[in-house]
Structure 1
Amino acid sequence: MRYEKGHKEQTRQKIVEAASERFRADGIDAVGVVSLMNDVGLTQGGFYNHFGSKEDLVRESVANGASSAAERMAARIAASRGEGYRALVNGYLSVDHRDHPETGCVAAALSAEMGRRPVETRAAFTEGFSEMVDVIAGTLPDTVRGKRRRTLSMAVFASMVGSLSLSRAVAEPALSDEILALGRQSALELIEAG
């Protein structure tokens, strides 16, 4: 059977996107190659036509998920009409983001697992982290200058990731909502204090 030009690249991208969502939703170790390939309508053997190992897929999926999340944040900011950092914080620490880790931030969904991954995978995660920090830095008030822009952006991102992660971890819905609200308040206060 002959496939159209670009078929292999499209199939690879389909696998990466499906894996990215599954890893964020279920955790990396909980997702097997067989079930993932079944999700995209392919065989386990077909996996190795695209990737040398599951870790190769993890690395590419982390990079893809991080870029997608940064693009969504940048779009939310662009649509905010001058309220960039507020739109970013409110969108990131929202009930929708909490309830849909599969399409959300890789850092909030997978950072605990990244510490146990090989250095090459952590390097892909680091690139995604830097991309999000840059997105946040672009929203900060003009009064925040120089090196402070980056350090403040990293502090805000760390605060948001922690708040989102904890809001997902607790068993009580009211407590989860309270964590999100306090996280939003803290991140905004941090930014406004400059």
Structure 2
Amino acid sequence: MVRYGSEHKRETRQRIIETAGRRLKRDGIDGSGVATLMKDAGLTNGAFYAHFASKDDLIATTIADQLRTLTANIIAQAEPGPAGLEQIVRWYLSADHRDNPGDGCPNAALLDEIGRCADATKQVYTDGLLVAIEGMAARMAPHDPSSARVKALSLLGMMAGTLQLSRALTDRRLSDDLLEQGVRNALALLGAEQHI
């Protein structure tokens, strides 16, 4: 039997988390069994429990990882101030994001299912989401980000809902129009925000 070092185990665990993130955002939590998640990572079911205590453990870990990735790759990389908010809005409400849920934000892809998860998963989601929201709030109100926290959360809610609707529509043109209107609505909200 081949023995692997701790670095190999960490890399394998991360591969499971990353592939699970893509699968969960495409097929949902309920639509993604352990066997499928492990197959995506190129592993057998038997290897699962060497890395996670349960599917719930994997789900919570994956959601936390997805929110960290969103914060690091999208929110933290956006320009400071209003220009960065516009970048975030335009990325979020883009046809590319709509068409590639596996590579996108976990909010629009998984919110309805996260709401039905165990409290531990909801807490991990809340903690990760608040970090993302702080990044947005810092662009809304650089001198007092906490004052913009609820408004940033509302903006994200509006964007996630718009993206969910756009993904559900079979009429591509209507879906594109919805995304464009969503961008206008979000930017109008941000414009009003700058005058308060």
Work out whether the TM-score is over 0.5: yes
TM superposition shift of 1:145: 4.7
Percent identical among aligned pairs is 38
TM superposition shift of 1:151: 2.1
TM superposition shift of 1:71: 1.3
Indicate the residue corresponding to 1:157 in structure 2: 156
So what's the TM-score if we normalise by structure 2?
Answer: 0.91
Indicate the residue corresponding to 1:6 in structure 2: 7
Matches within 5 A, 1:15-26: 15-26=16-27
Indicate the residue corresponding to 2:55 in structure 1: 54
Matches within 5 A, 1:28-47: 28-47=29-48
Matches within 5 A, 1:100-111: 100-111=100-111
Q: Which runs of 4+ in 1 moved over 4 A?
A: 144-147
So what's the TM-score if we normalise by structure 1?
Answer: 0.92
Whether 1:171 and 2:178 are equivalent positions in the alignment is: no
Q: CA RMSD in A?
A: 1.8
Q: Which amino acid aligns with 1:114?
A: I
Q: Which amino acid aligns with 2:15?
A: K
Deviations 1:72-112 (A, max 9, x none): 2135413x897111111111111111111111111111001
Provide the rounded CA distance (Å) in 2 between the counterparts of 1:31 and 1:101. Answer: 15
Q: Secondary structure at the match of 1:2?
A: coil
Gap change, CA 1:127 and 1:147, over 3 Å in 2: closer
Indicate the residue corresponding to 2:133 in structure 1: 133
Gap change, CA 1:71 and 1:146, over 3 Å in 2: closer
TM superposition shift of 1:159: 0.8
Indicate the residue corresponding to 2:86 in structure 1: 86
Gap change, CA 1:7 and 1:77, over 3 Å in 2: same
Count of paired positions = 192
TM superposition shift of 1:155: 1.5
Conservation of the 8 A alpha-carbon contact between 1:108 and 1:161: yes
Mind listing any 5+ residue stretches in structure 1 that lack a counterpart? none
Q: Secondary structure at the match of 1:37?
A: helix
Provide the rounded CA distance (Å) in 1 between the counterparts of 2:150 and 2:141. Answer: 14
